[in-house]
Amino acid sequence: MESQSYSIGMTSSEFSSPACPRCSCPLPEDAPEGLCPRCLAAINLETQSLFDEQMSTARPVPRIADIAKYFPHLEIHACLGRGGMGVVYKARQISLDRWVALKLLAPECQQNPEFKERFMREAQALAKINHPNIVTVHDFGQIDEFYFLLMEFVDGANLRQLLNSHQFTPEQALAIVSPLCDALQYAHDRGIVHRDIKPENLLMDLDGKLKVADFGLVKLLDAVSPTDKHSVGTPCYMAPEQKTDPENVDNRADIYALGVVIYEMLTGELPGESFMAPSVKTPVDARLDDVVRRAMNPEPANRYQHASGLKTEVMFISSSWNKSECSSARAERPVGRMNVNRFILPACGLMIASSLAAGLNLISGLALFIRFKNGDFSASIPYRGLLPLELGYHHPAFTIPARYAEMLYGYTPGFVVLAYLILCLALVLNLLGVYGAHRMKIGSSRNWSVFGCAIALLLGFFMMVVRWSDVLSAMLALAQIGTGIWGLMMLVSVRSHSFPQVQEKLTDHSQVIELSNQEHIWWIKIPGIGLISAAGFNLALLLIAALGTLQGPMHSPDSWVQVNLLPVAIILQALVLWGSIEMRSKRGYPLALLGALCSMVTTHIVFVGLIWKIWSPLLLVGMLLGLVFGAWGFLSLLNPRVSGSFQRHGRVIPRWIYCCSGMMIILLMIVLQWRWIML
């Protein structure tokens, strides 16, 4: 034992506080670690519950040696505790070298095959749950008279233990609401109800992450032994209908229990017979009283119908409740900040870009109108892009050779009218895009936000292709594309229900929602395959075009396009390909959505071909394929049922990667523009 740990010169802080904060006795000079010996010793007399609950005296705990032989692939280390549901052991899964929790459910012996089948079915549904805030079930089965579940081992403590040791502040109490609601909503969307939400079942691991344990076990045990009354749930947290009408219990019973838990975390006590408002007992916002009351309404129809609704309300109250933010602890979002705050930046960028684009459209329209009025249809005027705009420079580099102009952009009246109509459409769409960006900024509608971003993306691309000879509009177009993509990426990584004040009608599912085979084919399989083939086809065309022009001269007016348009087109198609692969495999949702979106913007295929003087129906086919399947895929991906069946919803790529690559692309293109100008 090192003497220095206990040198007489203990840190001055210990000397400066000579009394114990708890018992107020003076601290002896040689107090162990500077702590009051009396209080330290008293810790050992506290009654401590492990995984607690009533000890069912019916069955003795099976010895580890007895069980070990049934699980040769596990090393069973210790008994973690027992509860009404069964016994839990800490074990090591040898093959995967990880800790697991082995839960043995011991019903009154039922060898009935019907029960076994029900157990298997319920357990299978549980095993499909994969959420960061829910304890995962790795495996399940039956051995002898035991039904067992192999679960994720959570190294930490349950909320009951934490509540017992120290009081929670209101901020800390509310901080558990968000992950808890996320977990509940996720499970409810898949038709699984917990039925036994209580602090003992809410675990917190060493990183402070909340994990809900024992999901669906009540129903499981009912499947196994319906007469076992121990497994019905804990009385204080049970919704009334769980006692009176257990057959018709749905997700709202969990909402009730959620309300009780929130009450207990805020006040330190259970609501009891006389419901005293939380704001009376503890300094919290009075609006929380209504939240808790509503959640605990005896009538299910009067409660929150979805956990997400409760979460939104609590988040809203926390954010508008004027308390200083919690310490900026790493990896924990302070309770006061809503998800939607992160939309402000892309929304503002989008608004600016779209309004500028709308302005540009307006000016172009005016210019066109003036020319039309003056009857000026000559084709000899050098113009930049589709419509003339007097910007003051006439560098020959920025003109299309006249013969092309005649071929494509003949100043016939009919064409002018068409151009004018397109302009108007673009103006309207840009204005709608501005509105969508506004809705995104205030966070009141997810649909409008998606629309705004999509419009910006499409119009930006359209403008870039059409006005490619005009540096200013090219950069504006890039800005629109950039902010559109940024906004979309953020939107898809946030759940639809985190937009407040939205009465989103999520479909009411009481069964496990799995896409039927039929739906799967039409919504995922066909558009997925279509997209993959379209992308592959277009990519091939572009690459052939690229190879074909490598010998071309670099200083002709066309090379501007070669330099800028081709790489963008290739990148876009590559994105589509990647996204469509992700869609087929139902893995990364954001990428799939992005891929579908980019596939709708395929006009560049045609323009690339035109610039390279290749005209073949193949180009048109490529463009149409991409457009059709892109739209199909996009629409089907917006369906919440489809999006729910994807594995990953969060950021697939770390944020810094796509920020950096986005910036690099834009920078590269600007540099290329300037380089070209300087020549």
Residue whose token pair is 């035991």: 146
Q: Specify the DSSP class assigned to residue 63.
A: P
Which one, 156 or 567, has the nearer CB to other proteins?
156
Structure tokens of 543? Answer: 């690459």
- The only residue of 15, 18, 19, 32 in contact with other proteins, by rule CB under 8 A: 32
Q: Rule CB under 8 A: say whether 41 interacts with other proteins.
A: yes
Residue 207 makes contact with other proteins by CB under 8 A:
yes
Interface pick for other proteins out of 18, 19, 22, 369 (rule CB under 8 A): 22
Q: Under rule CB under 8 A, which residues in 42-71 are in contact with other proteins? A: 42-45, 48
Query: HSE-up of 381 (CA within 13 Å, CB side)?
Result: 16
Entry field: residues in the chain: 679
Cβ-Cβ contacts under 8 Å for 544 (sequence gap 6 or more): none
Q: Which is nearer to other proteins, 326 or 352 (CB)?
A: 326
Q: What CA–CA distance (Å, rounded) separates 437 from 341?
A: 13
CA distance 550 to 426: 35
Residue 18 in the binding site for other proteins (CB under 8 A) = no
Binding window for other proteins (CB under 8 A); candidates: 39-47, 390-398, 554-562, 596-604: 39-47
**Binding to other proteins by residue 10, rule CB under 8 A?**
no
Give just the sign of the alpha carbon dihedral 359, 363, 365, 366: positive
The yes or no reply on residue 97 touching other proteins (CB under 8 A) is no
Q: Which stretch binds other proteins (CB under 8 A): 37-45, 382-390, 455-463, 543-551?
A: 37-45
Q: Site size for other proteins, by CB under 8 A?
A: 49
Buried b (16+ CB within 10 A) or exposed e, 396-413: eebbbeeeebeeebebee
Residue 20 found at the interface with other proteins (CB under 8 A): yes
Q: Does 175 interact with other proteins (rule: CB under 8 A)?
A: yes
Site string for other proteins, 288-327 (x = CB under 8 A): --------------------------------------xx
Q: How far is the CB of 214 from other proteins (least distance, A)?
A: 19
CB of 266 to other proteins, least distance (A): 14
Closest-CA residue to 443 (of 365, 584, 338, 520): 338
Q: Exactly one of 58, 114, 166, 373 binds other proteins (CB under 8 A); which one?
A: 166
Contacts of 418 (CB under 8 A, 6+ apart): none
- DSSP single-letter state for residue 152: E
Among 206, 547, 550, 678, binds other proteins (CB under 8 A): 206
Instruction: Considering only residues 332 through 391, tell me which ones interact with other proteins, judged by CB under 8 A.
Output: 332
When asked if residue 80 is in the footprint of other proteins (CB under 8 A), the reply is no
**C-beta separation of 655 from 596 below 8 A:** no
Nearer to other proteins, 29 or 66 (CB): 29
Radius of gyration of the chain measured on its C-alpha atoms: 32
In what side-by-side order are the strands of the sheet with 74-82? 74-82, 87-93, 98-105, 146-152, 137-143
- Give CA separation, 555 vs 610, 634, 675, in Å: 18, 40, 11
Q: Rule CB under 8 A: say whether 36 interacts with other proteins.
A: yes
Rounded distance, CA 446 to CA 504, Å? 9
Q: Which of 301, 331, 550, 678 binds other proteins (CB under 8 A)?
A: 331
Give the footprint of other proteins on this chain (CB under 8 A): 1, 3, 5-6, 8, 20-22, 28-30, 32-45, 48, 156-157, 161-162, 165-167, 172, 175-176, 204-210, 326-327, 329-332
